Amino acid sequence: MGNRHRLLAGVIAAFALAGAAAQAESNYPSRPVEMIIPFAAGGPTDIVGRIMSAKMAELLGQTFVVVDRGGAGGTLGTGDVAKAAPDGYTLLMATVSTNAINPGLYKHLPYDPEHAFAPIGQVGVTPTLLMASLSLQVTDVKGLVALLKANPGKYSYGSSGVGSILHLCGEEFKADVGGLDIVHVPYKGSAPMDLGLLGGEVSIAFDATPTAMPLARAGKVRALGAGMATRIPAMPNLPTLQEQGVKGFECYTWNAILAPAGTPKPIVDKLNATINKSLTDPKVSAALVKAGIDPTPGSTPGSTAQFINAELKKWAPIIKASGTQIN
């Protein structure tokens, strides 16, 4: 075969591949999509993932399979998505931990947080609650601060692990109040942390609203304050920490859906439109709000990338000040 024929064959092959790719994009999704939850089943991220996956499956006419792949602070499941084929069939339910905290916390991550993903859209922001053990004789944040300052080193706060968002909430609380000497007790997850709080092993703890609100509503713990700048819609009578004198305090987690870097733009755009349509569905919105999650419809891939970059900048100094690093 001469050079001319080889060139012609190459051009034909390239057009064929381009046509096949375009056909695959236009038919997307033509098979089940995996939604990777990088944390254990039953937690806040799993709750969000299942609500969203069910609606997105309905809108796209294809099965969404929720896969809980927890471990190492969310780095295992997140790393698996980073290495997956960029075809839209493996998605990540990202969180503040996986894509904003872990980059400043872990010396070695199995993914590049800034370049390994194609942001698709934001899902929601999940406030935290500051909870107290019923054995602690305080009813509000001012009373708590007074008690802690009068008894340095006597009381403790729980978290879902060293470097977790709940740990950093505690560190931000200490920094914003100033002069607090309170012992950090890390647990292996929010569920055992909550059990520790119920049993009086720790005095206080921050937890995300999907798991914290049921405990507070059942009277098993005392909710002292909401961790966002504004009150939680599902608990409108609970003042924020800022309202109670902790100036500037705002600690929360969030969820966004990401794909591996290189995922074709038509697929990213289709998924973004599906996310936003899901979030404007009254049943989906109500389910998220009931779970303590504030839906964030209307995001774009670009605004999602900007949001994550801003979160990286927010948490980096707090992580550094805490002195926490994981090898």
Q: State residue 163's pLDDT score.
A: 86
Read off the DSSP letter of residue 188.
S
Q: State residue 20's pLDDT score.
A: 43
Residues in the chain: 327
Q: Is there a domain that residue 88 lies in?
A: yes
174's CB contacts (< 8 A; 6+ apart) are 180, 182
73's CB contacts (< 8 A; 6+ apart) are 97, 98, 102, 105, 106, 161, 163, 164, 326
Q: State residue 16's pLDDT score.
A: 46
d(CA 37, CA 308): 18
d(CA 202, CA 223): 15
Q: State residue 12's pLDDT score.
A: 62
Low-confidence ranges of the chain (pLDDT < 50): 13-14, 16-18, 20
Residue 132 sits in the same domain as residue 217: yes
Q: Is there a domain that residue 240 lies in?
A: no
Peptide bond into 29 cis (omega under 30): yes
**CATH number, residue 287:** 3.40.190.150
Query: At which residue do the structure tokens 């991550």 appear?
Result: 109
Q: State residue 6's pLDDT score.
A: 62
* 255 neighbors 85 (Cβ within 8 angstroms): no
The two structure tokens encoding residue 282? 């009254």
Q: Is there a domain that residue 239 lies in?
A: no
How many domains are there within the chain? 2
Residue 135 sits in the same domain as residue 211: yes
- Give the model confidence (pLDDT) of 80-106 as tens digits: 999 999 999 999 999 999 999 999 999
- Give the model confidence (pLDDT) of 239-255 as tens digits: 999 999 999 999 999 99
The two structure tokens encoding residue 174? 């200490």
Residue 138 sits in the same domain as residue 179: yes
d(CA 303, CA 64): 25
